[in-house]
Chains A and B, each alone.
Chain A
Amino acid sequence: MSGEAAAARSDPAPLRIFLSHPGVLFGGMTLAGIVLLTGIGPVFATDPVSINPLNRLKPPGAGGFFGTDMLGRDVFSRVLNGGRMSLTVGLAVAFLSVTIGLTLGLIAGYIRSLDAVIMRVMDGLMSIPAILLAIAMIALSGATLTTVIVAIVIPEIPRVVRLVRSVVLTVREEPYVEAAIAAGTRTFQIMRRHILPNTVAPLIVQATYICGSAMLLEAILGFLGAGIPPEIPSWGNIMAEGRTYFQLTPWIIFFPGLALALAVLAVNFIGDGLRDTLDPRIARTMR
């Protein structure tokens, strides 16, 4: 816009745009609520696994906030404890798949000789369905939190690798990267200083979506009985156990289902907000 004497222009702070985004506002508050409740809730709620056969299948109100299940366990307390599992799986999967995927993606995108090797392995991984892999792994090594996380992470990695690689492939052709090569910058530094920062924005957005889908997948695995062992409550296995009583006592399924839906929705809203803020093309139309 300006001529040779360009005045300093400052863009509106991205953080402010991000926080004023309605989706982010809703998602952030919901997620904060869920984190707070599942974080401190179990401290004052009753024991989620203590059985009370006299008090079974009580509707909400009569038997605690959310009622009780077929063994007389407090559904409210189970949902709060199950939330811990869901959030742990979501965050762990997002963190692990992004970290591993970022490393592999940077290498594949920048070091030509390794590109074909890494990407063919990724194609292979991508063809493994997460649910089958989880069932197979649990059959091999037993149902634990780690198994579930690993089983979800493995098929997610190729998606991250592809994303990072495509960013690296575009950025490595930029003249400023060539200028850095001409200035004798070492490969590791070029990746760290000039290429890595360009991958951060799409990766953060991708991470939120991975987090949401991992929470869903964990619930699906729990529901199928291939997830976290039944003695530890998770939203998936609470719903699995309650499904035989669904017509009689819908609250056993309704509350964990609602919690799951809200959590995934909140995470996705935050992801959308981040995408709108971090993608300069969309951000411009929003100002």
Chain B
Amino acid sequence: MTTILDIQDLSVSLPPGGDREFAIEEVSLTVDSCEIVCVVGESGSGKSVTAFSVMGLLDRRALNPVAGTIRLADKDLLTIDDRTLRQLRGERVSMIFQEPMTALNPVMRVGDQIAETLEIHTGLSSTQRHARVLQALADVQLPDPKSLAISYPHQLSGGQRQRIMIAMALILEPKLLIADEPTTALDVTTQAKILALIKQLQSSRGMGVLFITHDFGVVAEIADRVIVMQNGRIVEQGQVDHLLNAPKHPYTRLLIDAVPSMTPPERRHSNDKEALAANRIHKIYGKSGWFGRGRVVHAAQDISLTLRRGETLGIVGESGSGKSTVARCIMRLIDPTSGEILIDSIDIAALRQSELRRFRHQIQIIFQDPYRSLNPRRTVGDSIVEGPMNFGVAAVEAWERARELMETVGLSAESLSRFPHQFSGGQRQRICIARALAMKPRILIADEAVSALDVSVQAQVLDLLDDVRQEFQLAMLFITHDLRVAAQICDRIMVMQDGQLVERGSTATVYANPQQQYTRELLAAAPGRRKFPQKVG
């Protein structure tokens, strides 16, 4: 084993006026050939800055390396000229990113995008390049490389795009691959396959991999060595087994504990009265247009569910399974094509918008993206009181309740006059919960409400959701693609695939004894389940 990457005492400064002086401070780490080193930390811990400094991709206006060395292939990357750096990129080190859609050029065929690297770095003829591209596509286990090479990024699935990115990164057989949260935007089953692919390519080519993630579940799947970062500093590093079993630093323990367990905790069975019943909901997108028949998508087919007060029903599935469609139909944010949604025996699916307004306060929703679910131009307080005041609550009373709710969700009442951009993702999600609760709803829908958050923040928001469910006796519909999260919060669970219900039952039963093949695949794909099987959350 030889050392490929050697970072010594690297510090990168932040522009003045930030919340700390350095983005990363005195970071030293090495990556050897044939090993996968995971850098773990929450958002803002400096793990991406570390990776970007190696690639020379830092935004020089804001971030400047002020001390230390980055040695790759006997050269210090911080002092070499741009030409040499360009040469090293691709040949010695390459990178894959979190969002495979935005990292690919949408107007270029993927084969040409891969070939571009060859064109720049090698003197191969165009036929040789084509052959290399097809070989690369086969190496990342894509089916039918010939037809894939001439497709555009939007024609591929998220997993396929990430495979293309990997093919592109590895085409020049670099010694070091930097992977910046490459599976965070993917479904669990796809994530498991991509992780396996990276691991397999790494061992067959003897590469070093610097893998950045916030999820200790992923670490357990893939890492040889782990480096834990907090606030720009390395707090602990060591071999994966050692670190997972005997973490020394409290922050490492906190991150490991935050990984939700796959074992559902004991749940009380709710016999409360029914808050909502949905019968045979069907949603079809697309219809025949003026010029013949358009493409028709059955986003949800024949979905029935009941929700009791004080219980949490989970809908689990991958993207495109129709789980969000069901939630949005129940919210009447979109109109179901057929089926009924009963609240107090009134079918709200059939109501016109004007009649529906009376029911709006009974069902509230929390969205996935905390950055887009609050109006950036209105103060947090204005957003929270908007709903109650729509229904005629006096301003004084609405603001008083907003102050109480802010305390309930663990924020100070003074922050009501602040704007959303002054809060972190987790805090914004708390504000969204407060906004939903301000309407005094009976039903709360959480649509991937914790999926955009760091694992450690996720745990806190999940606890909060569970607390408010108990305190306000809410019926909660919890939509997620993450089975570990679902295990922690759901009493009952429904598994969806391609718009259809695959399996349903109490969470404990489904996890212990899945009946359907698809459910078993989903459960098997959850990252870290082998390493954290017994941990109770």
Contact = CB atoms under 8 A, between A and B. Distances in A.
Interface of A: 1-9, 174-176, 178-186, 189, 193-194, 197-198, 285
B426 A179 contact: no
B375 A176 contact: yes
A189 B387 CA distance: 12
B374 A4 contact: no
Given A2-B424, A6-B423, A9-B422, A181 B333 contact: yes
15 contacts: A3-B45, A4-B427, A6-B19, A6-B423, A9-B19, A176-B375, A179-B365, A179-B374, A181-B333, A182-B360, A182-B365, A183-B387, A184-B360, A193-B375, A285-B61
A1 B19 contact: yes
Shortest 7 CB-CB distances between A and B: which pairs? Answer: A183-B387, A184-B360, A175-B373, A175-B367, A6-B424, A176-B375, A184-B390
Interface of B: 18-19, 42-45, 61, 231, 331, 333, 357, 360-361, 363-365, 367-369, 372-375, 377-378, 383, 386-387, 390-391, 418, 421-424, 426-427, 432, 435, 439, 457, 460
Given A4-B427, A182-B364, A193 B372 contact: no
B329 to A, nearest CB: 13
B89 to A, nearest CB: 23
Contact of A184 (B368, B387, B418): B387
B372 A3 contact: no
A3 B386 contact: no
A176 B373 contact: yes
Contacts of B457: 4
Contacts of A285: 61
A237 B44 CA distance: 63
A142 B263 CA distance: 84
B390 A186 contact: yes
Given A175-B369, A178-B365, 11 more contacts: A4-B427, A4-B460, A6-B423, A6-B424, A176-B372, A178-B367, A183-B386, A184-B391, A186-B390, A189-B390, A194-B375
Contacts of A185: 386-387, 390
A109 B432 CA distance: 26
B426 A175 contact: no
A7 B418 CA distance: 11
A5 B61 CA distance: 25
B362 to A, nearest CB: 10
A284 to B, nearest CB: 9
Given A1-B18, A179-B367, A180-B386, A193 B426 contact: no
Contacts of B363: 182
Interface centre among A1, A7, A175 (most CB of B within 10 A): A175
B360 A2 contact: no
- Majority secondary structure of chain B interface residues (helix, strand, loop or mixed): loop
Contacts of B427: 4, 6
A179 B391 contact: no
A194 B422 CA distance: 19
Contacts of A193: 375, 378, 386
Nearest to B230: A3
Contact of B422 (A4, A6, A184): A6
A193 B379 CA distance: 12
B361 A184 contact: yes
Contacts of A189: 390
A182 B331 contact: yes
Contacts of B44: 1-3
Nearest to A6: B424
B16 to A, nearest CB: 12
Contacts of B424: 2-6
A180 B367 CA distance: 12
Contact of A8 (B18, B42, B422): B422
Contact of A183 (B45, B377, B390, B422): B390
Given A179-B367, A184-B387, A184-B390, A174 B372 contact: yes
A61 B422 CA distance: 62
A2 B231 CA distance: 9
A194 B375 CA distance: 7
A141 to B, nearest CB: 40
Contacts of B231: 3
A27 to B, nearest CB: 27
B108 to A, nearest CB: 23
A194 B382 CA distance: 12
Contact of B377 (A4, A175, A181, A197): A197
B439 A183 contact: yes
Nearest to B435: A179
A182 B61 CA distance: 42
Contacts of A176: 372-375, 383
Contacts of B368: 175
A263 B302 CA distance: 65
Nearest to A184: B360
Interface centre among A8, A176, A185, A194 (most CB of B within 10 A): A176
Nearest to A177: B375
Contacts of A184: 357, 360-361, 387, 390-391
A2 B387 contact: no
Contacts of A4: 424, 426-427, 457, 460
Contacts of A178: 333, 365, 367
Nearest to A181: B333
Given A2-B44, A6-B427, A183 B360 contact: yes
Contacts of A2: 19, 44, 424
Contacts of B357: 184
Nearest to A11: B421
Contacts of B375: 176, 180, 193-194
A183 B18 CA distance: 36
B15 to A, nearest CB: 9
A8 B418 contact: yes
Nearest to B370: A175
B456 to A, nearest CB: 8
A109 B421 CA distance: 27
A67 B331 CA distance: 74
Contacts of B421: 9
A6 B365 CA distance: 25
A181 B331 CA distance: 10
A204 to B, nearest CB: 15
A285 B423 CA distance: 23
Nearest to B385: A183
A130 B364 CA distance: 50
A25 to B, nearest CB: 23
Contacts of A181: 333, 360
A42 B18 CA distance: 54
Interface centre among A2, A4, A198 (most CB of B within 10 A): A4
A1 B18 CA distance: 9
Contacts of A186: 390
A196 to B, nearest CB: 10
B203 to A, nearest CB: 35
A275 B487 CA distance: 49
B43 A3 contact: yes
A155 B145 CA distance: 51
A186 B357 CA distance: 9
Contacts of B377: 197-198
Nearest to A12: B17
A183 B361 CA distance: 6
Given A181-B333, A184-B390, A175 B18 contact: no
B19 A7 contact: yes
Nearest to A8: B422
Nearest to B43: A3
